[in-house]
Amino acid sequence: MLDKQSRIYVAGHRGLVGSAIWNNLKARGYEHLIGRTHDELDLTDQAAVRQFFDEVQPDAVVLAAAFVGGIMANSLYRADFIMQNMLIQCNVIGESFRHGVKKLLFLGSTCIYPKNAPQPMKEDCLLTSPLEYTNEEYAIAKIAGLKMCESYNLQYGTDYIAVMPTNLYGPNDNFHLENSHVLPAMIRKIYLAKLINENKWDLIRKDLAKRPVEGTSGEESSQAILDVLARYGIYNNKVILWGTGTPLREFLWSEDMADASVHLLLNVSFSDIIGIEKYSSVFYGVSTDGTVSRDSSKGRGGALPQLGEIRNCHINVGTGKELSIRDLSELVAKTVGFNGCVEFDSSKPDGTPRKLIDVEKLHRLGWKHRVEIEDGVKMLFDWYREDLHSQS
């Protein structure tokens, strides 16, 4: 297990989840944290990643870095979503193994599950039927990542844990309209429609200066700004959202996700996970002559057919609760104080009809969520507005 002197590399430490994990570890007294921005370390560059691991020699790794986005981005950048994520995962997981990292936590996504998976989705419904087409490439990359962790554990006795969080939201979220997820995009769209109606152009311009839309940074004419916002369904006191509003979604506050991640990183081993299912909590060792022992210090040394099939060792992380996109829009409108009109464009894709995960395994491992969606939406809107007003 890790102690307070352990060197922990958090890949993606500036992102939504990575920053929350970093802060959670700090709060627990882990001071030897290692982070690199994308400018400092390109995780798709194998040589650069190897040199980094040679230099810092981390004891543990949290792989929270990924190439991410919402329905629009997934549809537009399909090649990027599979290639960028596969490169990041292969480089980081490969170098973790090569450098003898004691513990690795891999963050995936519940989009790994089939489009029509039985609800709530248990871990063992993975690869049972086709994926949702609009995010197929990202899902395949994340499935590959969790299978890498599982396979290294089974062959080499490593301790790599894969967690599959539901839809996340929280401080440092991505509010860029071209590639943001549903909740931050909804908050920003509804807030901008409210500001347009209230003629608060100083705040509208500050918003676009902070997060330009298609290169429009707030310095343009009011009409030019209105034109670009209209392309994203943002009008005077009216917002048009994609789809029918009927899909059901589950949301988890990012700081809750961070707490769950750190709990699993510090307190749960791969042997605990397979032990929960049906197997011994002691890894089998294999000597050079093929003799099987129960010396956990040796690791497995090779997959053992006599243990049967070990799969779906990843862990769902979520709340086990859901609401429709339409209900979410009403909650956001109420939180923002928006009295205008929210419409849905049914000609646009809905994505997966329902994505509720089963969190029984997570609860058995000793963790439950704290923040409910009503409180979380308010906290995220407060964070967004404070971030906007904090600009000079």
Residues annotated as catalytic are 138
Instruction: Return d(Cα 53, Cα 98) in angstroms, integer.
Output: 9
Output the six-digit token pair for 275.
């032990």
CB atoms within 10 A of CB 229: 24
Q: What angle do CA 33, 35, 38 make, to 5 degrees?
A: 175
Strands 323-324, 248-249: pairing is antiparallel
In the numeric block, the tokens 């969790």 are attached to: 146
C-beta of residue 65 within 8 angstroms of C-beta of residue 19: no
Instruction: Return d(Cα 314, Cα 278) in angstroms, integer.
Output: 15
Instruction: Return d(Cα 100, Cα 169) in angstroms, integer.
Output: 33
> Which amino acid is residue 260, in one-letter code?
A
